[in-house]
Structure 1
């Protein structure tokens, strides 16, 4: 019997030390994932806007984010087809991380190349890292015990925050100092280093599955299996609608800071550092919070923080108050992250079936894909409506999102 099978087969499940080691290996990879996401989501659009790109054009750079939301399309393939070395999930993780590192090295030496070529290379990096994330989430679903899911969701946020601090903070602040080549080579080097703990600490499962007879064959993995169940389909639709509110609310605020005159380095070092640090604090607080008051009340607490942050953003923009606007940008990122910790804890349970990569990618990927399109559309809307109307509309939509998410985070779901 394999290590993973032994972990799941005992009467008490994995030991505390086994779970700690597994979480450490998983979260090393989530740091790397957060690094790439930070570059795509907070780094490049901010740098290009500061260099004079129109806000609508900068919004189109979020297309690099789309592969992270389209993973549900090829997640069944990952579920069905193991890479023929290491193990089912770890094989995919190592292979895709290697592809991403290789492409980043090419990008580092491709400065001055045609923009469409650079965009294609960047999109390929995003596809590789997104595919790695499919296998990584499936590994988390398979190896994290039920009573450790809130901790796993919170530590995932902490790791993503640390990565975002590098990709959305240091990347922006150091870009003008270190230059294109050095920055991208550093990103490639960091991704290589984050793979090592996972290969050492995460137990190997067999390429054909974690335990014979424990679940239907992985070869049956299919997105249609999830969509064919009305209750699950409704859950997915509601989650997607809510995410289409959450992510535009937190994803465009750095562009607003540029518009009111906040220097690029200040955005990089303050928002790019304080934002992930606040998310790290949220990840620490969320564990005892969810354990003491439950998921639904934790959701409401984070929603209160969202509305306070929106008020700060609106005031900061209208009064050109840089520090208030920065505080609002940091706070709303932390609040939305707290909400998603609650959601992630539920998704880990929702996906704990025979096709974890497919189910997790469906819940997480479809909602992320739709919210990426919503963020791009919101950037176009800002150019027409202005930031004041944008924040007013977001506040109204966030109220609706509260009524959507509250029942989804209940024990019965």
Structure 2
């Protein structure tokens, strides 16, 4: 089915929002709730630190993503045939956690807990590959910004529910009932994809997929992606677009801690900031449909850089709560808008029947480099101070927009050459 430029149906929007929310539900449990619960049960800090390693499947999924694009279920449909079993597996794992006593899981059964969490991340990260591929195929280019708004917003809503929400209800409800409700929510999020008639609307086109199924599939798939005209310059955009944000944002909370902010105050700021980020993502998606990819990348990238640089105004101003909220919420909104623009632009570079893996390679490369840069933000803050860090990160964010312009010029020149007789 050739996608039209009309706005996607409400059923399509609900489908995508439910799939990305389903990914955020277990992620919030692992990232936000479990570290608190483990420490309350006396688990060693070194073991709690291992939770970060459980996210490795999200980085390594690039290694098996081509098989998600290549293999399709003749009965369930291509992406649906992956998403339904994988999401069902997450439900089973969460239900297993709900049936076990927390005293066992956080004591003698700790390694069982860690094993189930690795399995949950493996299932959810692979579901993400199929979901991204489905999103690219479902949405016409004009509305991919809105699709990525649902991606960012749905994922953050899921993380809020299973992070802050779970911590609020676990004392009155208990571990077993709270985890059972979480499993039930993921199951509820599976209803839209269960009802989605993918075989009729988006039939698999094996002629456009890779012919190989063995070990050469990985090489053939990504070699084909990198061979596209202008792809190397575009990858430079992908790798650098969020570097300013990655360098500056990790130091926001340490700076506020140094200025006397309590854990409760930071928790409230984080929650409201997450909601601002969701609002920014939704606004960015709507504006993307009106102004197009280039203007969105330049405008939202500039706002992102301005937001990071503005954090320098908070140095020594921790007691000015209004200023802290104004600047940090602006930064969160700009981050949501710029993320939507980048992800929507990444979808433009995906080939038919290669959507999931092509998007995964770009996203994984961006996250990996951003992670390395973010890891050095503390060292740089000690060297130049918070103010120097934020101003420098904002300047870096503005500088990388030159690469965006270079990519746009090359793309325009390529289109002009195609139009000439």
Give unmatched runs, 5+ long, in structure 1.
1-6
Per-residue CA deviation, residues 61-103 of structure 1 (Å, 9 max, x unaligned), is: 5444443233211101212233575122112111221222233
Residue in 2 that maps onto 1:87: 77
* CA distance in 2: counterparts of 1:46 and 1:407, whole angstroms: 46
- Given that residues 86 and 126 in structure 2 are in contact (C-alpha distance below 8 angstroms), is that contact kept between their aligned partners in structure 1? yes
Residue in 1 that maps onto 2:316: 318
Residue in 2 that maps onto 1:271: 270
- Given that residues 69 and 356 in structure 2 are in contact (C-alpha distance below 8 angstroms), is that contact kept between their aligned partners in structure 1? yes
- Give 1:334 deviation, angstroms: 2.0
After superposing the two structures, state which structure 1 stretch, 131-140 or 95-104, moved more.
95-104
- Given that residues 170 and 268 in structure 1 are in contact (C-alpha distance below 8 angstroms), is that contact kept between their aligned partners in structure 2? no
SS of equivalent to 1:354: coil
SS of equivalent to 1:101: helix
Residue in 1 that maps onto 2:288: 290
Distance 1:188 1:363, change over 3 A: same
Residue in 1 that maps onto 2:418: none
- Partner of residue 210 from structure 1, selected from 184, 204, 217: 204
2:149 is the alignment partner of 1:151: no
- Given that residues 28 and 195 in structure 1 are in contact (C-alpha distance below 8 angstroms), is that contact kept between their aligned partners in structure 2? yes
Distance 1:250 1:375, change over 3 A: same
- 1:375-394, aligned counterparts within 5 Å? 375-378=374-377, 387-388=386-387, 390-394=389-393
TM-score (norm 2): 0.77
- Give 1:287 deviation, angstroms: 3.8
* CA distance in 1: counterparts of 2:39 and 2:382, whole angstroms: 13
* CA distance in 1: counterparts of 2:389 and 2:359, whole angstroms: 31
- Partner of residue 196 from structure 2, selected from 172, 180, 201: 201
* CA distance in 2: counterparts of 1:115 and 1:181, whole angstroms: 16
Per-residue CA deviation, residues 309-368 of structure 1 (Å, 9 max, x unaligned), is: 335533435332373434444332221221111112212221132311221111112222
- 1:6-21, aligned counterparts within 5 Å? 7-8=1-2, 13=3, 19-21=9-11
Residue in 2 that maps onto 1:401: 400
- Given that residues 101 and 192 in structure 1 are in contact (C-alpha distance below 8 angstroms), is that contact kept between their aligned partners in structure 2? yes
Per-residue CA deviation, residues 108-144 of structure 1 (Å, 9 max, x unaligned), is: 5323357665444333322211110000111112222
Structure (1 or 2) with the larger CA radius of gyration: 2
Residue in 1 that maps onto 2:24: 34
Residue in 2 that maps onto 1:123: 118
SS of equivalent to 1:199: helix
After superposing the two structures, state which structure 1 stretch, 158-167 or 188-197, moved more.
158-167
TM-score (norm 1): 0.78
Distance 1:128 1:34, change over 3 A: same
Distance 1:386 1:184, change over 3 A: farther
* CA distance in 2: counterparts of 1:136 and 1:152, whole angstroms: 11
Per-residue CA deviation, residues 291-315 of structure 1 (Å, 9 max, x unaligned), is: 4433333334334433453355334
* CA distance in 1: counterparts of 2:311 and 2:50, whole angstroms: 23
Distance 1:304 1:141, change over 3 A: closer
Q: Number of residues paired by the alignment? A: 401
Q: Runs of 4+ in structure 1 displaced over 6 angstroms?
A: 45-60, 383-386
Per-residue CA deviation, residues 253-284 of structure 1 (Å, 9 max, x unaligned), is: 44555554444444444422x22332332233
Residue in 2 that maps onto 1:3: none
- Given that residues 245 and 305 in structure 2 are in contact (C-alpha distance below 8 angstroms), is that contact kept between their aligned partners in structure 1? no
- Given that residues 38 and 166 in structure 1 are in contact (C-alpha distance below 8 angstroms), is that contact kept between their aligned partners in structure 2? yes
Per-residue CA deviation, residues 7-57 of structure 1 (Å, 9 max, x unaligned), is: 33xxxx459587442232122111222334444556667888999999999
- Given that residues 257 and 326 in structure 1 are in contact (C-alpha distance below 8 angstroms), is that contact kept between their aligned partners in structure 2? no
- 1:218-297, aligned counterparts within 5 Å? 219=213, 222-229=221-228, 231-250=230-249, 253-254=252-253, 256-258=255-257, 260-272=259-271, 274-297=272-295
Give unmatched runs, 5+ long, in structure 2.
415-421
Distance 1:287 1:81, change over 3 A: closer
Residue in 1 that maps onto 2:157: 162
- Partner of residue 136 from structure 1, selected from 124, 131, 134: 131
Residue in 2 that maps onto 1:354: 353
- Given that residues 318 and 388 in structure 1 are in contact (C-alpha distance below 8 angstroms), is that contact kept between their aligned partners in structure 2? no
Residue in 1 that maps onto 2:419: none
After superposing the two structures, state which structure 1 stretch, 168-177 or 122-131, moved more.
168-177
